[in-house]
Amino acid sequence: MTKDLYCVMGHPVSHSRSPWIHARFAELTGQQLHYDKREIPLDHFARSVQAFIEEGGRGCNITVPFKFEAAKIATHTSTRGLLAQASNVLTFKDGQILADNTDGIGLVDDIERNAGLPLKGLRLLLIGAGGAAAGVLGPLLQAGPAHISVANRTLHKASELVARHQPLAEQRNTALEAHTLHGLNGPFDVIINATATSLSGAAVPVAAHVLKPGAMAYDMMYGPGAQGFMDWAQAHGAVPRDGLGMLVEQAAEAFLIWRGVRPPSGQVLAELRAVIQG
Ligand code: ATR
């Protein structure tokens, strides 16, 4: 039997755990598919997607730095993809390119289901206003927290992101504000690092008093990239969590879009953590 073809496209992509995750999802749900990784030259993205479609590709995940371009080449984009202005999932069907963004729902699922913390009514701080933050703000609002502050080094980027999401915030009854990194009105129940500061060796960009005792401090990265933030959180009485669960949950949502089946993501997250920790 020929297997349906999927892949992840990025640059670099050699580190990607997505082929492992999707292979395990396919095994556990009895789906016949092949999923590989493709490192795409920086100026070849649209061409590479077209070539993959011609090869018979059914869909692909998109990672750094192509998420913005992916949103632009789509013929149809989901509501959450439009809000994010970036896409991590493309589906090819009947000559159309359908774009979606499952990063945010992946984050919310990891916090609510895997870590067991419902976000409804809580006070959240989202640090950063780049592509990573844009991908998650809509689904965070959908979860119905009481308040979200978006804090960024460059205030106008936070203000733009907040303005774009204000209608959704009003609909969800969530107070949504843009801030600089200083003078934040804490403390917060959950703080989410959507900057890559740990990876670059930079200090955590907010003061520790933003943390409520026992707050969840979530870094959207995992591995060495998340360590600085996780150590800081631990040292200040917060509960650190890395982004490995978000990675698995965004993949589970993509798998659901492509195959119509929700894989057992909690089991796969536990297995992946064991593989990584060796
Ligand atoms: P990504 O797609 O990963 O979000 P990005 O769009 O380049 O990448 O955004 C990076 C984010 O990290 C931005 O919010 C950036 O702040 P600026 O908008 O002011 O550039 C933030 N960031 C990067 N390095 C930082 C640092 N040393 N301190 C604070 N924020 C930093």
88-126: pLDDT as tens digits? 999 999 999 999 999 999 999 999 999 999 999 999 999
- Cα 212 to chain center, whole Å? 24
Using the mean position of ligand 1's atoms as its centre, give its distance from the Cα of residue 32 in Å.
39
Q: How confident is the model at residue 202 (pLDDT cuts 50, 70, 90)?
A: confident
Percent of the chain predicted with pLDDT > 90: 93
Distance CA 228, CA 35 (A): 32
Q: Do domains 4-101+246-277 and 104-242 have the same CATH topology?
A: yes
- Residue 1: pLDDT over 70: no
User: Which atom number of ligand 1 is nearest to the Cα of residue 128?
Assistant: 14
| Mean pLDDT calculated for residue range 139-146 | 98
Q: Ligand 1 pocket, 114 CB below 6 A?
A: no
Per domain, the residue ranges of the chain are 4-101+246-277, 104-242
Atom 2, ligand 1: residue with shortest CA distance: 131
C-alpha of residue 203 to centroid of ligand 1, in Å: 13
* Closest atom, ligand 1, to C-alpha of 194: 4
Question: Could you tell me the sign of the dihedral formed by the alpha carbons of 217, 154, 221, 63, in that order?
Answer: positive
Contact 157 CB / ligand 1 (< 6 Å): yes
Residue of 277 and 21 predicted with greater confidence: 21
Give the CB-side neighbour count of residue 140, counting CA atoms within 13 A: 30
Instruction: Enter the CATH code of domain 4-101+246-277.
Output: 3.40.50.10860
Ligand 1 touching residue 72 (CB < 6 A): no
CATH of domain 104-242: 3.40.50.720
- Which pTM was predicted? 0.97
Range with the poorest average pLDDT among 35-44, 201-210, 239-248: 201-210
Where is pLDDT greater, at 38 or 204? Answer: 38
Percent of the chain with pLDDT over 70: 100
Q: How far is the CA of 153 from the centre of ligand 1 (A)?
A: 8
Closest CA to 71 of 83, 57, 84, 87: 87
